[in-house]
Amino acid sequence: MDTLDILRQLAIIIIAAKLFGLLARKLKAPQVVGEIVAGLLLGPSLFNWVSQSDFITGLAEIGVIMLMFSAGLETNINQLKKTGIKATAIACSGVFVPLVAGTLLYLGYYRITNPDPEQLLHAVFMGSIITATSVSITVQALKEMGKLTTEVGTAILSAAIIDDVIGIIVLTVVLSFRNPDSSVGMVVLKTVAFFAIVVILGYLVYRILKILDAKYPHTRRIPIIGLALAFGLSYVADKYFGVADITGAYVAGVIMSSLDDSEYIDRKMDVNSYMIFGPVFFASIGLQTNVHTLDTGVLLFSLCFVLVGLLSKIVGCGSISRLCGFKGKECLIVGCGMMTRGEVALIISQKGLAVGLLESKYFTSVILLIVFSSILTPIILKVLFGDEKTSKNEQKKVTT
């Protein structure tokens, strides 16, 4: 592809992604869904104006690294330390139940009773896609209702952070098994080695960066070092430890998340993400989806996938909340608050496609899960909180 064509394709992708992103927001759906739809329309499904070239794939890959680095940056380690046993329990159950449910769905749907290792890996991967919560929509809904700082709100927020960390570990382990020369022992060893080295070296890097940041606050070099660290650690993770590159990027973000300038770095990363790399990544998901190859089989699977995705989080997070002392409706609120999915589910899917653990047709399932969860959650939360108010009022009436 010549450079001239790159310019044409980028112009089209950027403007279409923005347009449909805004349209999606108008319709109360997440912007990324609009950007995916833009890719869908521009690609082989309809107009065929843009092709999924090597260059676009490369840009999308950089976009993924940036998004995961940002996710890491937004992990507040100090808050993580403070969050109690409750949030940790909710997060663990909120990862475990969907992971198992997704695996069983795959095995059940395709009636695989005696899976070989390859089939099992595909099944577990399907499960790990639905482990990743994306609470930005929940946060916004809670904020609007003024419920963000309630006990339930705090539990959801903290659980979502821990959920990310556990999710990335699960994903790391699952993807490690993809390595052709992998033995279980080797995979575990390498993964443990990676995290051990990252904790030690990461702390050293963090101390050095802290000094640098104090000396040169708000200078360009700080976000530049961050980006280089993200790229570098992604490479090292994948190349030398067989750990997914996105894990490396996420860890780089976590390392820098306690710097005074972490927000400043995140803002600069964000400009890069929303101008080019983000839209290209999300549009490329659409570009890789050809609606003509969708059959009723995939659609039926998607329907089950969405149901399992939503219910497994509600059951996983809701049931454990009950054990943690939350009451009736509150458990449902925690469960529904945790059921939204977003960018990370797409990033994981893309990774799965790259390593051959997922077929591109399943993108449809993931996109539908994102759409449904994002639209349903705010509505359900509103209803539940509305009910709660009434029941409290009723309680008051009884007691007074």
Closest approach, Cβ 237 to a copy of itself, in A, equals 10
Among 232, 328, 356, 386, binds a copy of itself (CB under 8 A): 232
Closest approach, Cβ 194 to a copy of itself, in A, equals 15
> What token pair was written down for 349?
């899917």
Residues 6+ apart with CB under 8 A from 210: 259, 260
Asked if residue 227 binds a copy of itself (CB under 8 A), the reply is yes
Q: How far apart are the first and last CA of the chain?
A: 76
Among 220, 327, 396, 397, binds a copy of itself (CB under 8 A): 220
Closest approach, Cβ 179 to a copy of itself, in A, equals 13
The string of DSSP letters for 244-287 reads: -HHHHHHHHHHHHTTSTTHHHHHHHHHHHIIIIIHHHHHHHHHH
**How many of the other CB atoms lie within 10 Å of CB of 84?**
11
Residues 354-383 interacting with a copy of itself (rule: CB under 8 A): 354
Residues 276-295 interacting with a copy of itself (rule: CB under 8 A): 276
d(CA 305, CA 314): 14
Asked if residue 245 binds a copy of itself (CB under 8 A), the reply is yes
Tell me if 308 sits within 8 A of 105, measured CB to CB.
yes
Stretch that binds a copy of itself, among 43-51, 52-60, 74-82, 325-333 (CB under 8 A): 52-60
Nearer to a copy of itself, 74 or 270 (CB): 270
Among 35, 61, 330, 343, binds a copy of itself (CB under 8 A): 61
Tell me if 312 sits within 8 A of 133, measured CB to CB.
no
CA-wise closest residue to 343 among 139, 102, 136, 127: 136
DSSP, res 207: H
d(CA 157, CA 136): 9
Nearer to a copy of itself, 128 or 234 (CB): 234
Closest approach, Cβ 225 to a copy of itself, in A, equals 7
Stretch that binds a copy of itself, among 32-40, 72-80, 190-198, 226-234 (CB under 8 A): 226-234
Nearer to a copy of itself, 11 or 196 (CB): 11
d(CA 288, CA 360): 7
Nearer to a copy of itself, 84 or 217 (CB): 217
* Helix, strand, coil tally for the chain in percent (to 5): 80, 0, 20
Closest approach, Cβ 238 to a copy of itself, in A, equals 6
With tokens 């046993």, the residue in question is: 85
Residue 86, CA distances (Å) to 90, 122, 158 in order = 6, 32, 9
d(CA 219, CA 264): 9
Binding mask 3-22 for a copy of itself (x = CB under 8 A): xx-xxx-xx--xx--x---x
Closest approach, Cβ 220 to a copy of itself, in A, equals 6
Residue 288, CA distances (Å) to 47, 231, 284, 319, 343 in order = 13, 24, 6, 37, 16
Closest approach, Cβ 366 to a copy of itself, in A, equals 20
Residues 107-126 interacting with a copy of itself (rule: CB under 8 A): none
Nearer to a copy of itself, 39 or 223 (CB): 223
Residues 247-276 interacting with a copy of itself (rule: CB under 8 A): 268, 271-272, 274-276
Among 29, 37, 65, 283, binds a copy of itself (CB under 8 A): 65
DSSP, res 357: S
Nearer to a copy of itself, 6 or 148 (CB): 6
Q: Residue 14, class by beta-carbon neighbours within 10 Å (0-12 exposed, 13-18 middle, 19+ buried)?
A: middle
Asked if residue 136 binds a copy of itself (CB under 8 A), the reply is no
Tell me if 332 sits within 8 A of 156, measured CB to CB.
no
Q: Which residues bind a copy of itself (CB under 8 A)?
A: 3-4, 6-8, 10-11, 14-15, 18, 22, 54-55, 57-58, 61-62, 65, 220-221, 223-225, 227-229, 231-232, 234-235, 238-239, 245, 268, 271-272, 274-276, 354
